[in-house]
Amino acid sequence: MTTERVTRRLVVRGRVQGVFYRESMRQEAARLGIAGWVCNRRDGTVEAIVQGTGDAVEAITRWARRGPEDARVQSVDVSSAEGEFSGFEKRPTL
């Protein structure tokens, strides 16, 4: 079990807008104790910053590769990120 806090940026591609993706991710983040944010981007992707224990970030990254029921995720790009977050918010489109 990894308890060190990590921060990752996720960019999710596929049919991920208009399918309840952001709200579903917010709910999953709350369940896992993840902080950060999620937003739609004008290019049709969903971007998220996720911060939590290594295990929790791994779990939400696995979830992001599936998404909610109506999503069709093609790929998730994962990279390192920085920042301090408390809570998880659904942000407006960038």
Three-state DSSP state, 7 = strand
Angle at 39 between CA 54 and CA 18, to 5 degrees: 115
Q: What does the CA dihedral 36, 90, 38, 35 come to, rounded to 10 degrees?
A: 20
Annotation says 22 is catalytic: yes
Q: One of 5, 8, 13, 22 is an active-site residue; which one?
A: 22
Task: Give yes or no for a contact between 85 and 49, defined as CB atoms under 8 angstroms apart.
Answer: yes
Annotation says 40 is catalytic: yes
Q: One of 8, 9, 26, 40 is an active-site residue; which one?
A: 40
Give the residue numbers annotated as catalytic, written as ranges: 22, 40
